[in-house]
Amino acid sequence: MGATFGVTAIPADAAPATTTQATACPTGWGSLGKTGVSSTTAPLENIRTGRHACYDRMVFDIPGATGSGFGYSVRYVDHLYQDGSGRLIPVGGGAVLEVRVTAPSYDPETGAPTYPGRAGRPLPGVDLTGYRTFRDTRFASSFEGDTQIGVGVRARLPFRVLRLSDRVVVDVAHNWNGTR
């Protein structure tokens, strides 16, 4: 993942000039499902999003999990169906990305919620105003140690998944051709 910068040299006594910056976006992510196998008893505590020049990002925070101590499954689906009940959960957008992390949204010992998501509702605290790719989010369930989320995106676009020490990161590109 690199950036290309173009700068025009201007003599010191010349009028102010405009600096041109071009960003080369990552390519080759694809739109096929991606998985990382493992599980944890460390609970999901937060889901947050961010806007970047080339993609929109969603981060699943799982404090207490380490390294590859948790898994994920991310794939495009025609419809989002809630685990356990099979209930259809409508998700807005041109395509639906189903994200599952193998971490519960509750404390396994006490059953107390660690993430305030409610089935069929938008993700709490996530505002997608101004995002180029993300259109909608829905909490589906936390069932048998897996937490399931639906992300409505503008279209079926390439994405990548990163598993970091205590979080899963899902980046969805703004387009297929790697331009900003």
Structural domains in the chain, sorted by start = 30-173 (2.60.40)
Tell me the CA distances in angstroms from 97 to 26, 66, 76, one per residue in order: 19, 25, 4
Q: Tell me the pTM.
A: 0.83
pLDDT tens over the chain, length 180 residues: 443 333 333 333 444 444 445 567 887 899 999 998 876 678 999 999 999 999 999 999 998 876 566 889 999 999 999 988 999 999 999 999 999 999 999 998 899 999 999 999 999 999 999 999 999 999 999 998 899 999 999 999 999 999 888 889 999 999 988 777
Let me know: does 58 contact 78? Beta carbons within 8 Å. no
What is the C-alpha end-to-end distance of the chain, expressed in Å? Answer: 13
